[in-house]
């Protein structure tokens, strides 16, 4: 195919490769030519990158003819993960080198070698692929305005991954700064899985919306004919009863068989410990696959992860067991199949992972769900229905986090300085701070200047100073250096490097796990069985174990919670079963459990709230099933326990899962407040929630993160990192000082807000209570635990019984039920 001479250069480049642009790509090019910012939402593997990049490159070629030679920095491509930077750079470089060989492209992340950084410090490339943290670091350069005012385009890749976090807020502030430098800046976001597209676009483009001259942003939906296949690997015998992990061992051989008959396969798990377990299960089943299957998660050494990624791209690996470390945009063209172990817990996450297979226009993406308990079989059918109907979760930006603002103020003070009113007006153009008050900004400014009212006597917290021209700056080089090292909003527990005795690095492990090991203890990590030797200089030294058994590390990450959209879809599926419709293969597989639930109790339905009660030797049990996810259920269980004991003192134990929660008391309690729905009232909700929890302890835990983001706690210089206990003690000291001597400290207020909004999801909790109050109560008094209630009992047993004791207890419960039914 020969391009017409009159076609723009980028279209000629496409034609030379025999490619035809999709209609949505042309729509994006037109919007960019009109100077519009916007948002592109399209299926994974459909050509989003070139839709935006070729539009921008075409405009750059028109404005700045390449014949003039090298160009200053014109375009910044933000990626949420360093692992994506190399792939993205390669994709952008191909048309750039063909059409403008004089122009340069580079990447700047935490992995960029010092020599490359030094080269960029002398002159930035024309196009830079970077992360929110590295872009923020660029803003600390004394000549940041001169270096960045020529930037004409910013792209935020995988915007759905950033928008709901403080990293997204950090990106909003940095883009607001770039918009200030160049009011004609054009910004685009890319996403494949978002529900609230219009709001997501406004969050990204908000600074541009403040300009009356800027054209309205454009939302482009890329619809192409790309098949999405979602199916379920059904167990032979799911049984009448099930609990978390119940079917795991039974599913091992079917998973092995599926991998054996498929091409290159990605096996996703939700947590790193589960990835380690499944990698070992696959090797046990097929030892001859050693070298053909691999493991990938964020704690493994970078070189090992890159080796695995290259093996996937080359098609030389049969399968890779991975966590969310491979969720996003990296192109693995050979991957034909994705297996998801357990529920993905959300429609968006499931679709994102499905898109890792068939990652090219026209190729089918196939995801097979592998349930680990019977409820996940039903969940699989519900997730498929929700995905095909486009019921994808919304993502919302945090609301004016002041720790990120404090960090930003110091960043800009280092990078040339700022005037108070000018920066206040600029910060308010960022969506997250659109309702920031002058008083809140002044408080943050005073906190940076003198540490608030309680740290005035400590010079280390006098970070910014106003000069004679009224410009705030950071005069102390030591403070500036510590701030640069601490930039970012990703706060994780302190970790140690895991090394062989020879010094070779295997990866990083949380300090808490290492501290519990004794010399000679064995554990699985990075797919290897290792023996712990000793700790020296914040590194854990190990050797290959001679034993055949070991423990699997656990990482301090919260379990994923069922989304509202998926919870509703599960209830709809269960309603079909309650009406005798088992036409979906998953419902037929779960039929023994569902029919047992109907016989002993009731099947949950969307229009009613299932409430069960049961009396055992332990006491009196109450089960409620809102299907709102474990985080909301934790808040609900605590709230209802407190309300039930308010009039008549009582003590409750509780357990939660994604479908419901259990309250257990040794003393009988009145069920009338539940059956009358009085306990679901939303009046005094905030007061009652805080009273029902140890809110001070929760807020103190949350404050540890806030203190580090705000620069109160310094993690240490490279090679001299502080331990988790030191960091915890430091943040705890600040928390107590502020509580006693600075009650108006807004960082304390933020800690409490984040507990409510993130840990307890207070907005979802309120919405759930409102929904529960509108539904009728479906009450069942149990003679034996029902299939819905048994998993909640197991959750509670696991906290106090060994695996062997738990197995014995369950055998007895099941025998009693079978004998009586």
How do 337-341 and 365-370 pair as beta strands? parallel
Number of other residues whose CB lies within 10 A of the CB of residue 635? 26
> What is the model's pLDDT at position 197?
92
Q: What pLDDT, in 10s, does the model give residues 288-319?
A: 999 999 999 888 888 888 899 889 888 899 99
Could you give phi then psi for residue 336, rounded to 5 degrees? -100, -25
Name the strand (E) or helix (H) holding 510.
strand 505-510
Mean local confidence (pLDDT), 429-449: 94
Whole-number mean pLDDT of the chain?
86
Q: Per residue in 343-378, pLDDT tens?
A: 889 998 898 888 888 766 667 889 999 999 999 999
| Sheet of strand 539-544, all strands in order from the earlier edge strand to the far edge | 505-510, 495-500, 539-544, 528-536, 522-525
pLDDT at 687 over 70: yes
Q: Identify which of 199, 231, 536 has the alpha carbon closest to the alpha carbon of residue 397.
A: 199
Provide the pLDDT confidence category of residue 622 given band limits of 50, 70 and 90. very high
**Is pLDDT at 565 greater than 70 in this prediction?**
yes
pLDDT of residue 2: 44
Give tens-digit pLDDT for 739-760. 777 778 888 888 877 777 776 6
What is the three-class DSSP state of 338?
A: strand
What is d(CA 203, CA 265) in angstroms, rounded to the nearest whole number? Answer: 36
This prediction has a pTM of 0.84
688 confidence band (pLDDT: 50, 70, 90) = confident
Distance CA 719, CA 769 (A): 50
Tell me the mean pLDDT in the region 578-590. Answer: 95
Residue 185 near residue 156, CB atoms below 8 Å = no
Q: What is the pLDDT of residues 778-793, one digit of tens each?
A: 999 999 899 999 999 8
> CA distances (Å), 268 to each of 230, 265, 276, 521, in order?
14, 10, 11, 28
Residue pair 185/204 in contact by the 8 Å Cβ criterion: no
Per-residue confidence (pLDDT) for residue 4, from 0 to 100: 45
What is the pLDDT averaged over residues 643-670?
89
Q: Where does residue 713 rank: exposed (0-12), middle (13-18), buried (19+ CB within 10 A)? A: buried
Alpha-carbon distance of 558 to 429, in angstroms, equals: 33
Q: What percent of the chain has pLDDT over 70?
A: 90
Out of 70-84, 164-178, 561-575, 750-764, pick the least confident: 750-764
Average pLDDT value for residue range 458-485: 91
Look at 549 and 381; give whichever has higher pLDDT. 381
Mean local confidence (pLDDT), 321-347: 83
Q: What percent of the chain has pLDDT above 90? A: 48
Look at residue 444 in the predicted model and tell me its pLDDT: 93
The rounded distance, in Å, linking the Cα atoms of 128 and 135 is 10
The pLDDT value given to residue 144: 92
Residue range 10-65, pLDDT digits in tens: 888 988 888 888 899 999 999 999 999 999 998 776 788 999 999 999 999 999 88
Look at 39-43, 452-456, 541-545 and tell me which has the smallest mean pLDDT: 452-456
82-96, 418-432, 641-655, 804-818: least confidently modelled range: 804-818
pLDDT at 514: 83
d(CA 224, CA 358): 14
Per-residue model confidence as pLDDT tens digits over 253-298: 999 999 999 989 999 998 888 899 999 999 999 999 999 999 998 8
Q: Who has greater pLDDT, 689 or 633?
A: 633
Query: Is the distance from CB of 748 to CB of 699 less than 8 angstroms?
Result: yes
């Amino acid at each position: 195919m020969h391009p017409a001479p009159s076609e723009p250069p980028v279209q000629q480049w496409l034609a030379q490769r025999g490619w035809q642009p999709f209609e949505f790509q042309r729509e994006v090019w037109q919007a960019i030519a009109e100077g519009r910012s916007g948002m592109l939402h399209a299926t994974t593997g459909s050509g989003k990158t070139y839709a935006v990049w070729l539009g921008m490159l075409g405009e750059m070629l028109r404005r700045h003819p390449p014949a003039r030679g090298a160009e200053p920095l014109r375009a910044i491509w933000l990626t949420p993960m360093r692992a994506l930077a190399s792939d993205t750079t390669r994709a952008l470089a191909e048309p750039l080198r063909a059409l403008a060989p004089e122009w340069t492209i580079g990447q700047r992340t935490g992995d960029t070698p010092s020599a490359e950084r030094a080269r960029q410090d002398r002159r930035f490339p024309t196009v830079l692929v970077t992360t929110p943290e590295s872009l923020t670091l660029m803003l600390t350069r004394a000549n940041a305005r001169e270096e960045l005012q020529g930037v004409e385009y910013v792209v935020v890749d995988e915007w759905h991954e950033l928008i709901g976090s403080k990293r997204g807020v950090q990106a909003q502030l940095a883009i607001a700064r770039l918009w200030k430098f160049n009011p004609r800046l054009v910004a685009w976001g890319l996403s494949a899985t978002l529900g609230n597209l219009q709001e997501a676009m406004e969050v990204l483009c908000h600074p541009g919306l403040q300009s009356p001259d800027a054209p309205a942003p454009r939302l482009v939906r890329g619809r192409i004919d790309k098949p999405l296949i979602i199916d379920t690997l059904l167990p032979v015998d799911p049984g009448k009863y099930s609990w978390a992990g119940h079917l795991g061992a039974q599913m091992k051989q079917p998973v092995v068989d599926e991998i054996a008959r498929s091409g290159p396969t990605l096996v996703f798990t939700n947590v790193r410990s589960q990835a380690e377990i499944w990698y070992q299960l696959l090797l046990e089943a097929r030892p001859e696959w050693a070298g053909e299957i691999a493991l990938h998660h964020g704690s493994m050494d970078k070189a090992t992860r890159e080796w695995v990624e290259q093996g996937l791209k080359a098609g030389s690996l049969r399968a890779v067991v991975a966590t969310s470390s491979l969720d996003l945009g990296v192109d693995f063209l050979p991957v034909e199949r994705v297996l998801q172990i357990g529920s993905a817990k959300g429609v968006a996450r499931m679709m994102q992972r499905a898109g890792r297979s068939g990652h090219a226009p026209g190729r089918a993406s196939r995801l097979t769900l592998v349930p680990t308990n019977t409820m996940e079989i039903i969940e699989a059918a519900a997730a498929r229905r929700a995905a095909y109907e486009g019921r994808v979760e919304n993502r919302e930006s945090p609301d004016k986090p002041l720790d990120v603002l404090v960090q930003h103020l110091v960043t800009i003070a280092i990078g040339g300085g700022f005037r108070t009113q000018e920066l206040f007006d600029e910060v308010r153009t960022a969506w997250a701070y659109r309702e920031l008050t002058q008083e809140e900004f002044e408080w943050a400014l005073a906190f940076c200047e003198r540490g608030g009212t309680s740290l005035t006597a400590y010079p280390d917290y006098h970070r910014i100073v106003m000069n004679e021209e009224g410009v705030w700056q950071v005069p102390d080089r030591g403070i500036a250096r510590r701030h640069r090292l601490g930039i970012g909003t990703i706060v994780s527990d302190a970790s140690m490097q895991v090394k062989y005795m020879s010094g070779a690095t295997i990866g990083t492990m949380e300090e808490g796990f290492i501290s519990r090991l004794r010399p000679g203890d064995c554990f699985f990590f990075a797919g290897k069985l290792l023996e712990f030797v000793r700790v020296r200089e914040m590194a854990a030294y190990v050797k290959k174990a001679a034993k055949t058994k070991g423990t699997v590390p656990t990482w301090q990450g919260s379990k994923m919670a069922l989304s509202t959209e998926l919870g509703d879809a599960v209830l709809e599926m269960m309603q079909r079963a309650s009406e005798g419709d088992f036409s979906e293969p998953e419902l037929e597989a779960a039929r023994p459990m569902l029919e047992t639930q109907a016989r002993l109790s009731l099947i949950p339905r969307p229009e009613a709230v299932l409430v069960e009660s049961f009396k055992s030797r332990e006491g009196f049990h109450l089960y409620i099933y809102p299907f709102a996810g474990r985080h909301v259920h934790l808040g609900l269980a605590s709230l209802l326990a407190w309300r039930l004991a308010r009039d008549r003192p009582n003590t409750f134990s509780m357990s939660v899962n994604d479908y419901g929660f259990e309250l257990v008391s040794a003393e009988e309690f009145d069920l009338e407040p539940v059956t009358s729905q009085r306990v679901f009232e939303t009046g005094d909700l905030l007061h009652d929630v805080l009273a029902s929890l140890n809110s001070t302890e929760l807020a103190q835990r949350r404050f540890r993160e806030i203190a580090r983001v705000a620069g109160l706690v310094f993690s240490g210089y490279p090679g001299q990192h502080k331990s988790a206990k030191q960091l915890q003690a430091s943040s705890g000291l600040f928390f107590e000082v502020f509580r006693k001597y600075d009650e108006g400290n807004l960082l304390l207020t933020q800690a409490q807000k984040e507990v409510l909004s993130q840990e307890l999801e207070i907005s979802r909790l309120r919405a759930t209570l409102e929904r529960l109050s509108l539904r009728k109560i479906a009450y069942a008094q149990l003679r034996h635990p029902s299939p819905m209630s048994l998993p909640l009992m197991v959750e509670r047993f696991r906290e106090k019984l060994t695996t062997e004791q738990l197995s014995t207890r369950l055998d007895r419960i099941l025998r009693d039920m079978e004998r009586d039914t």
